[in-house]
Chain A
Amino acid sequence: MSLITPELRARFDILVAYYPPDQRQAAVIPLLHLMQEKGGQGFLTAEAQAAVADYLGVPVVKVQEVVSFYTMLSEKKRGKNHLMVCHTLPCELTGCEGVMASVNKRLGLKGGEVSPDGKFSVEEVECLARCGEGPVMQVGERVFTHLTPESVLKAIDDMEKVS
C-alpha cells in the first residue's frame, strides 16, 4: 500500500484518466515507468508490480507479463548509472566494439552485474535512433554520441564523480 505514495497516486490518477474508464489496463506501461523511476528502487519488485495491478484492478499476472516483455522494465537491480551501449549495425560500422571493450575493461562487469558500489551496470542494446552520430550510448536521459574508446572512459569518470 505504502509503495504508492500520495504523490505517485496523484500522477497515476492523471495518467489513468487518459484512457476510457473500462480500459484501465492501457495505463500499465506509463505507471510501471513511474513506479520504476519514482518508486525509489530503480527496478520493479514483486510488491511494486502487485501494487500497480491492485491500483489498476487487473490480475497481477497481466502486469508480470508486461514487465517480462519489455526491456526497459526491469525486475533486477540496475546500477545507478545503467549504461546502454548501442551495438546495432550503424554503430558497429563506426566503432562501437572498441567502445564496448573499453567499458568492459574499465568496469569489468559481466552480463547484468551491478558494480559493488552500486554505481554502474552495462547493457548492450539495439539501435537507439541516433545512428548518424555513432557510436552511441544512453544513460538514463543522457545520450552520448561520437564515442571513442577514450571518450567513453571520460564519461564514466564524470558519472563516478557525480554519483
Chain B
Amino acid sequence: MATPLYLTKNFKNPAAASYDGYVAGGGYAGLKKALSMAPADIIEEVKKANLRGRGGAGFPAGVKWGFLPKTDGPKYMCVNADEGEPGTFKDGPLMELDPHQMLEGIAIACYALDIHTAYVYIRGEFYKAYRAVENAIDECYAKGIFGKGMMGSSFALECRPHPGAGAYICGEETGLISSLEGKKGFPKLKPPFPAIKGLFGKPTIVNNVETLACVPHIMTLGAEAWAALGCEKNGGTKLYCVSGQISRPGLYELPHSVTLKELLYDHCGGPLPGRTIKAVIPGGSSAKILKAPDEIDVRMDFDSLGKAGSMLGSAAVIVMDDSTSLVRALDNLLRFYAHESCGQCTPCREGTRWISKLIHDIADGRGESGDLDKILDILTNMVGNTICVLADAAAFPAESFIKKFRPEFEEYVRRGKRMSITGWKEEAPVIGAGAH
C-alpha cells in the first residue's frame, strides 16, 4: 500500500509553488483553523502530535515552543534552512517546490508564540530556493497573510528571507543566530538557550524547515491523526534522504515507523547489482555507522536509533556496499569536519585536524599500527569539551567506524598502500590533499 503523502504531496504539481495553486490544493486551511484557536491550544496540539524537531536533535517542537517566555518585548522566529549536513537534501526541495507549506507553518507558529518577526536563513548556494521563498513571501504580503492583519485578524507578522554565505557551522542554531546578526558564524555557549536569549539578545525560536512544514498538516488533520501516522513519540511522516551505493537513491516520505531495512530494500531497491550492503550511516555524517545486515533492522525514529547507539539526526541515510573502503570514507568525513570547525575551541580545532591528518596518512598508505589507538585516545578529549557539538559530531563517526570495522582498518594499514574508495585497488598517494 502506498503511503499517503503530506510533506511532498505538491512536489509533482508546479502550480503549488504559487499562492493560488497552493490554496487550490487546500493550502492555508491550517492557518485559518489556527487563527480560530487560542495560541496555547495550538502549542498543546503540536505537543500532542509528537512533532520532533527535524533539523537533527529531534527535540519535541511543542515543548521547545513552551520555553519561550510570554513577555511583550520583541521575540523572533529563525527558520533553519541552512541544510548542510552531508547527505541531507530535503529542505531545499521543500522550499523550491512548495514554499507556501513552510510559510504557512511559520505563520501558525508565530501566531501561537506571539512572535511578530520571522527570518528564513537560507543556505547561500540555494539560489532557486531563495527565489521561490522570496516570491512566496511577496505573495503572502499581497494576500494578507504577512504584514498587518493576518487573514483579517489583528495579528501582524513580518517575514523575511536571509541568505547564508557558505559555512556549515551556521546550521548550528547559535552559529545561525551569530550569522544572522551579521557576524562570523560562531556558536555560543548554552545556556542561555536561544528561547531565552537569541537573535539580537531577544527570545528566539529556531526551527528547521521540515519541522515547520509539518505544522499546517497537524492543524488540518488534528494532533491525534498526525501522531498516528508515525509511532510513539515520533508523530507523522518523515523525509528520508538516501544516497550512496544503493539502487534508487532519492528523497522518500514515509511513516516515521519505517525500518532502515524496509527503507533500503523495499523502497530503494536494495544494493547495486552484484553487491551487498556493508554499512549504513542512518542520520547524516555525524551519526554513528551501523553494520549491515546485523544492525539495520531498526525503526527510523529518533528514539529507536538512539537506543541502537546511533541517531536519526537529519535523516540522511548514506549507504556503503562491500566495494567501499571505510578508511577512505572516514578520511572524507574527517576532512569535512576539520574544514568546517569554526576554530573557537581548542579540542575541536586541534582534534579535528589531528584525527583527520592521522586518517589521511593511513588512507595514503603511510599509517602505523599505533595510529588507530592514538585516534581513539584523541577522541576522548574532544567529546563534551566544546561550545557546540561539532566536535562530538566528528568523534562519533570516527569512533564507530574504527571500533566496528577494526580488522578492515588494520588490514589497510598493513598493506601500506593507498586504495581506491571503491574496489580495494591501489592508487597513487595524495599527499597534502583536503583541508590540511
- Chain A positions within 8 Å of B, measured between CB atoms, are 18, 20, 23, 25-30, 32-33, 58, 62, 65-66, 69-73, 84, 87-90, 92-94, 97, 125-134, 138, 140-141
Contact = CB atoms under 8 A, between A and B. Distances in A.
A118 B422 CA distance: 36
A68 to B, nearest CB: 8
A132 B242 contact: yes
B312 interface: no
Contacts of B249: 131-133
B262 to A, nearest CB: 18
A29 B166 CA distance: 11
Given A33-B124, A71-B166, A127-B85, 12 more contacts: A18-B162, A29-B162, A29-B163, A29-B165, A29-B179, A30-B163, A70-B166, A73-B166, A90-B244, A93-B243, A130-B89, A141-B128
A131 B421 contact: no
B184 A66 contact: yes
Contacts of B18: none
7 contacts: A26-B162, A26-B200, A33-B124, A70-B124, A72-B166, A89-B87, A89-B244
Nearest to B201: A23
Nearest to A29: B165
A32 B164 CA distance: 11
Top 5 A-B pairs, shortest CB-CB distance:
A70-B165, A25-B182, A71-B166, A72-B166, A90-B243
Contacts of A66: 165, 182-184
Interface in B412-426: 421-422
Contacts of B158: 18
A131 B128 CA distance: 17
Contacts of B241: 131-132
A141 B160 contact: no
Query: Does more than half of chain B's interface fall in helix, strand or loop, or is it mixed?
Result: mixed
A72 B87 contact: no
Interface in B362-387: none
Contacts of B324: 93
Nearest to A131: B243
Given A126-B340, A128-B125, A33 B245 contact: no
B388 interface: no
Given A33-B163, A69-B185, A93 B123 contact: no
B89 A18 contact: no
B318 interface: yes
B125 A138 contact: yes
B408 to A, nearest CB: 16
A129 to B, nearest CB: 5
Given A23-B181, A29-B165, A88 B86 contact: yes
B184 A65 contact: yes
Which of A32, A62, A94 is most buried by chain B, counting CB atoms within 10 A of its CB?
A94
Contact of B125 (A20, A25, A72, A134): A72
Interface string B229-273: 000000000000111110001110000000000000000000000
B339 interface: yes
Interface centre among B86, B91, B168, B316 (most CB of A within 10 A): B86
B329 interface: yes
Contacts of A97: 421
B84 interface: yes
B336 interface: yes
A39 to B, nearest CB: 15
Given A126-B86, A132-B242, A62 B182 contact: yes
A93 B245 contact: yes
Contact of A71 (B167, B244, B422): B167
Contact of A89 (B84, B181, B285): B285
Contacts of A89: 86-87, 244, 285, 318, 329, 332-333, 336
Contacts of A70: 124, 164-167, 185
Contacts of B84: 126-127, 129
A90 B421 contact: no
B67 interface: no
Nearest to B324: A93
B86 A93 contact: no
B172 to A, nearest CB: 14
A49 B163 CA distance: 18
Interface string B397-432: 000000000000000000000000110000000000
Nearest to A23: B200
A4 to B, nearest CB: 17
B43 interface: no
A30 B245 CA distance: 38
A10 to B, nearest CB: 16
B163 A20 contact: no
A123 B72 CA distance: 48
A58 B158 CA distance: 25
Given A65-B183, A65-B184, A126-B339, A131 B87 contact: yes
Nearest to A56: B182
Nearest to B184: A69
Contacts of B165: 29, 32-33, 66, 70-73
